[in-house]
Structure 1
């Protein structure tokens, strides 16, 4: 089963895998957009909460 996430700006993504940044061993999340483009960002950033318009929300929210 594929788990999908909605970015707070509206895009839909699925996690491809968790990887390790070679230079400093930071855990990163590799994820793919609905259009097929592949991205990565630090795991801590992917799952963090951010402030938007005064409200604390998740950067990526799991779509259930």
Structure 2
């Protein structure tokens, strides 16, 4: 389980996690999130959302939790 709120993608954009969902075919946990820049909606498997990615030789979270939205 991840907290709802604001996240920073490792490439720099900011997103708001809106809710968690389940894939109807596989029951895989999915994260539904919205881009702050243009309001577009995205969905990504939970495992990918929380994984670490290699950036300039070091591992960093794909999405870093910034905080709750008030």
| TM-score, normalised relative to structure 2 | 0.84
RMSD: 1.2
Q: Which runs of 5 or more structure 1 residues have no equivalent in the other structure? A: none
Separation in 1 of the partners of 2:15 and 2:30?
Answer: 15
Give the aligned length: 63
Alignment of 1:1-64 (within 5 A): 3-34=5-36, 35-64=38-67
Task: For residue 8 of structure 2, give the secondary structure of its aligned residue in structure 1.
Answer: strand
* Partners of 1:3 and 1:26 in 2: CA distance: 21
Runs of 4+ in structure 1 over 4 Å off: none
TM-score by length of 1: 0.91
